[in-house]
Chain A
């Protein structure tokens, strides 16, 4: 737009997309090894034994972010994707790495057909009524 050399510092605005391509964070992997595809509402929980992940040289900053976010409050895969502004596929791979490294574990959602009884659904209705 401008001939002005000053604009060089504005090359990378949001419209240009991320500077790092999303799947570069996963080193090109689009699926996680030995992992059932994580549901969007699968909950990621940081292992209490997970120490300071920042000292682990094998982890990317995004890995470290996930461990940190899920430490106090377990987070769903969808929430992590929104929070970190990453595609869900990338979050799945990163979470898979962390499961493998035993820094987090994942609680899979119970499919409605496998709910032990209807009491959970009644709890949901009562909870909604109380809103």
Chain B
């Protein structure tokens, strides 16, 4: 592990990499949020699915297609030479949840983006992270023209645990996106401290 100061010499620094997921319904601003804070234009990587070995991919209705492409947006924030944070926008459709399993493995936590006009779109994401005990916060993307609700109303509507932060944000705004990420990491630190059970205790 290349912790601490980068070593001198010709060897490239091998950074510690961490990842945060950005989840939420279709069109809620996941790519916008990633793009607002990423140092690179959100890159798009694709996983090509074939029918083989993908029992969770429900292809009913699209039988004519033998492959499906799942696109994931991701961004990068280089905090230091040896410390890089990656953001992954999770694919929205429920049938791509097997991708979430892979994405969420080893993730620091997740931002669930919500739109108050379509709050139900983020139920699935909230449920997913709750079940897997992955620390997350809900960031309400304040769309122009959408009614503003106090975060307590959002918390009640989503039936969130008291510890889950609910913040308002503007996914287009870099500072706002940054504050959301800071809030998530602070929450993840608290969450980990609370859930660290003594083994055999």
Q: Which residues from chain A sit less than 8 Å from chain B, CB to CB?
A: 22, 30, 39-43, 45-46, 48, 71-74, 76, 78-79, 81-83, 87-89, 107, 109-113, 118, 120-121, 123-125, 127-129, 131
Interface of B is mostly: mixed
Binds A, one of B24-32, B121-129, B152-160, B181-189: B181-189
Chain A to chain B: the 8 pairs with minimum beta-carbon distance, closest first = A127-B79, A82-B43, A41-B17, A81-B45, A111-B106, A87-B48, A82-B45, A107-B14
23 A-B residue pairs with CB within 8 Å: A39-B105, A40-B74, A43-B17, A71-B12, A74-B12, A74-B14, A76-B17, A78-B74, A78-B86, A88-B47, A109-B18, A111-B106, A118-B189, A120-B83, A121-B108, A124-B83, A125-B186, A127-B77, A127-B83, A128-B77, A128-B85, A128-B185, A131-B77
When distances are taken between beta carbons in the complex, the residues of chain A under 8 Å from B43 are 78-79, 82-83
A41 to B87, CA, bound (A): 10
B12 lies within 8 A of A73 (CB): yes
When distances are taken between beta carbons in the complex, the residues of chain B under 8 Å from A45 are 12, 14
A131 to B43, CA, bound (A): 20
B-side interface residues, number (CB < 8 Å): 48
- Which residues of B in the span 41-88 have a Cβ within 8 Å of any Cβ on A? 43-48, 53, 72, 74, 76-77, 79-80, 83-86, 88
Please name 14 further chain A to chain B contacts, defined as beta carbons within 8 Å, in addition to the given A78-B86, A127-B80, sorted by A numbering.
A41-B19, A45-B12, A71-B12, A74-B14, A81-B46, A82-B43, A82-B74, A112-B188, A120-B18, A124-B18, A127-B83, A128-B178, A131-B37, A131-B174
* Residue of B with least CB distance to A90: B48
When distances are taken between beta carbons in the complex, the residues of chain B under 8 Å from A76 are 17, 84, 86
